[in-house]
Structure 1
Amino acid sequence: MSTQQTPALPWRPGTTQVLGHRGARGLAPENTLVGFLHAHRVGATAMELDVQLSADGEVVVWHDPVLTADKAVDTAPATREDPLFPYVGSRLRELTYGQLASVDVGRRTAAAFPEQRPRPGARIPLLGEVLQALAEVDPEVWTLVEMKTDPTDPGAEPEALVRAVVEVVRACGAGSRVVLQSFDWHAVDLAGRAAPDLPRAALAVPGLTFARGSAWLGPVHYDDHDGDLAAAAHALGVQAVAPAYASPYGARAGDDGFALVTDRAFVDHAHEVGLAVLPWTVNGDDDLAHVLAAGVDGVISDRPDRAAALVAAGRPG
């Protein structure tokens, strides 16, 4: 199990950071450079993104394990002599970065986000590209990097992904503005061993990834903590916990109906054991006001514009 580390943290006590979820998913195509830059323009002070390995070992920024037709469009010539073409429908880890870069991920818009606008020509970026682009527009912006590794997938290679992510962060000189996180707590533990100076966060969906007998908890045993998410994350040695957020105000666009509501009692308990709280995904004004009043350290939102406006207006939090 990881030893508790005390790396420099990008958040500050008494303030609320606004994290653009996959950039600004409610406004622009997710996990694209244009989306991250738009999130910064509308007030995000940090970004949340997802990373995977391509077939040739590049750290690419994309959420889904498979390129789906609702988000991606092939642009390579139909006569291309490539047994993997068309690329849409393929697993990311089966495609090289060159193949992935030929796919347009800005042309489609998501029905769940009616205010999302297309950005034709946007492509899947490399993690290094995103870190460098953000540093150029604002050196204070930090990035919450979610390592997409699934312990229930026999083909998952968390060691390789963690190693590659740390190498990119080091090469970009981004160690002071990156936090590593994953639902796979084994990967989070590996990251602590590989880069103890980098802060880490434990992602969790109570009742799903955080549950008795879960394969997602790595070195942590659920029963040792009597269902206490904050205590379990503390035992993992992380600096933050990122729980799924369920709205007490009814359904929202993009809300998957998870079981945990981030309230003042949860936040206070997490703070008592030394953890920041970064709930996801909080989009509606009432929900945003709810978590701000609970005293969260950061809020991960598809609508960073709304979150930033409420923080600027001095809503409770």
Structure 2
Amino acid sequence: MSRLSALLALLVVVSMPTATYASSGTPASQELAQPASAAEDPSREAREVGYGPDGFDLQAHRGGIGLTVESTIASFSRALEVGVSTLELDVQITEDHQAVVTHDRKVSGAKCRDTGPAFAGDPEYPYVGDYVKNLTLAQVRTLDCGSQTLPQFPEQRPSPGARMPLLSEVFDLVKRYNADKVWMNIETKVEAGAPEETAPREEFVQIVAKEVREADMLDRVSIQSFDWGALMRMREVEPRLPIVALTNGPQFLQPGQPGASPWLGGIDIDDFDGDPVAAAHSFGADAISPVHGFPQNGKVTDENYEPYVTKRMVQEAHRYGMKVIPWTVNDAPTMHKLIDDGVDGIITDYPDRLREVMEQRGLELPKRYPAPGESVG
């Protein structure tokens, strides 16, 4: 190589852009940079090939509602002991910007009951029936969300006095169990159809991303949402987190209607011929999580059952490099049908039932984790 060629090569190397993690040490997530390629996002390649737990993904819906009162430390503990690969959970944001684990944007009297005001003379008391976004953490923590069971889940165990957990407390629980292979699939419960009823999208995204980073759980958390705009924003804020596009039927996607559905982050499903898989792929979703069929609580053995997930849907998603994780499936025949379709996992209220089906199919079962202090035996 001539001296001139060597000098030119050196200049090229010196002028090359730095990686996403610059010498300043500031994460790309804090700079709110949107990756356009694997070169701009060093985590992208790893995320695409390594997202999610090994093997078939058994996800315990809200901790496994069929077994234990939902979204409680008791439900997540029992799911870990039953043996799941992923804890599926929902997050709402309180008035004082705390991420609490609960499904409902409005405190449900069927699940929680008032025990007393957060302070004497609190004009907002009672809290049942209020929106979580209008209550402080101190107020929601007075609620007993574990004593009442739901009649549609006759096997459900109560957890008397259970308080609405913080997201950080669920992370701490998983660490106490040494459940180092278990993932958490966190739904940001942005109500795109009625945004005034939940915290703003930006608040959800920033707070959840911060909680995941602080817990050092970036390699074991995926973010799901029906609000695809929240997923797009999460990809900008924390590109290391896999994003999962939840989807429902026509009422959600709104095909054939003017403009975009409020749930799709500006995407008009008609631009994709009504195809949710292609639409989700267009903004970089790592997985799609569709309803399994209609009615939502139906079974493949029902006369009026219409499957939504099909082999063709799964094959299309896999061509895009996306996983398919349908919700919420509670009976063995429908589980078998979906496994035949080639899905990558299933969200269920009954993780014990899905374990039985997986065992029958010869699928590797997720590890059971004993309660802290108990021996394996």
TM-score by length of 2: 0.78
Shift of 1:136: 2.4
Residue 145 in structure 1 maps to residue 186 in structure 2: yes
> Which residue of 2 is the match for residue 293 of structure 1?
340
Distance 1:259 1:114 in 2: 26
- C-alpha displacement of 1:108: 0.7
Look at both structures and tell me which one has the larger radius of gyration over its CA atoms: 2
The within-5 A match list for 1:1-317 is 3=36, 5-6=44-45, 7=47, 8-12=50-54, 15-76=55-116, 80-137=120-177, 138-155=179-196, 156-212=199-255, 213-246=260-293, 251=298, 260-314=307-361
Please give the alpha-carbon distance, in whole angstroms, between the structure 2 residues aligned to 1:57 and 1:240.
28
Q: Percent identity?
A: 37
C-alpha change, 1:154 and 1:239, in structure 2 (3 Å) is: closer
Secondary structure at 1:209 match in 2: helix
Deviations 1:75-127 (A, max 9, x none): 12699410111111111011111111111111111111111121101111011
Indicate conservation of the 8 Å contact 2:53/2:85, yes or no: no
Specify the code of the residue in structure 2 equivalent to 1:149: V
SS at match of 2:253: coil
Offset of residue 3 of structure 1:
4.3
State how far apart, in whole Å, the 2-side matches of 1:262 and 1:135 are.
34
Distance 1:162 1:78, change over 3 A: closer
Distance 2:297 2:99 in 1: 37
User: After the TM superposition, which of the residue ranges 135-144 and 208-217 deviates more from structure 2?
Assistant: 208-217
| Aligned counterparts of 2:362 and 2:135: Cα–Cα separation in 1 | 45
The offset of 1:309, in angstroms, is 1.8
Partner SS state of residue 176, structure 1? coil
Give the C-alpha shift of residue 37 in structure 1.
Answer: 1.1
Q: Supply the AA of the counterpart residue of 1:121.
A: G
CA distance in 1, matches of 2:71, 2:188: 13
Question: Structure 1 stretch 126-135 or stretch 54-63: which is displaced more?
Answer: 126-135
- Amino acid paired to 2:173: A
| 1:73–1:168 CA distance, 2 compared to 1 (3 A) | same
Q: How far 1:310 sits from its partner (Å)?
A: 1.3
What is the CA-CA distance between 1:269 and the residue it aligns to? 1.3
Cα-to-partner distance string for 1:253-289 (whole Å, 9 max, x where unaligned)? xx9x996532222111110111100100000111111
Question: Would the aligned equivalents of 1:293 and 1:316 in 2 still touch at CA under 8 Å?
Answer: no
In 1: Cα distance, 2:263 partner to 2:155 partner: 34
Q: Is the 8 A contact 2:117 2:125 kept in 1?
A: no
Choose between structure 1 and 2 for higher RCO, CA contacts under 8 A separated by at least 6 residues: 1
Superposition deviation, residue 11 in structure 1: 3.2
Alignment root-mean-square deviation, CA: 2.4
TM (normalized to structure 1)?
A: 0.92
Shift of 1:151: 1.9
Q: What amino acid sits opposite 1:283 in the alignment?
A: N
Which amino acid is 1:288 matched to? M
Please tell me whether the aligned partners of residues 118 and 142 of structure 2 are also in contact (alpha carbons under 8 angstroms): no
CA gap of 1:248–1:56, structure 2 versus 1, over 3 A, is: closer
Q: Runs of 5+ in structure 1 lacking a partner?
A: none
1:19 counterpart SS class:
strand
Cα 1:249–1:47, aligned 2, differ >3 Å: closer, same or farther?
closer
- For structure 1, which segment, 61-70 or 154-163, has the greater mean C-alpha deviation from structure 2 after superposition? 154-163
Aligned to 1:288, the other structure's residue is in SS state helix
Distance 1:316 1:246, change over 3 A: farther
Assess, with a 3 A threshold, how the Cα gap between structure 1 residues 90 and 269 changes in structure 2: closer, same or farther. same
Q: Is the 8 A contact 1:135 1:141 kept in 2?
A: no
Which stretch has the larger CA shift, 130-139 or 274-283?
130-139
Deviation at 1:249? Answer: 11
Letter in 2 for 1:292: I
- The 8 Å contact of residues 49 and 62 in structure 1, kept in 2 or not, is answered as yes
Distance 1:182 1:205, change over 3 A: same
Contact 2:295 2:306 in 1 (8 A): no
State the Cα distance separating 1:247 from its structure 2 match.
6.0
Residues in 2 aligned to 1:145 and 1:113: alpha-carbon distance in whole angstroms: 23
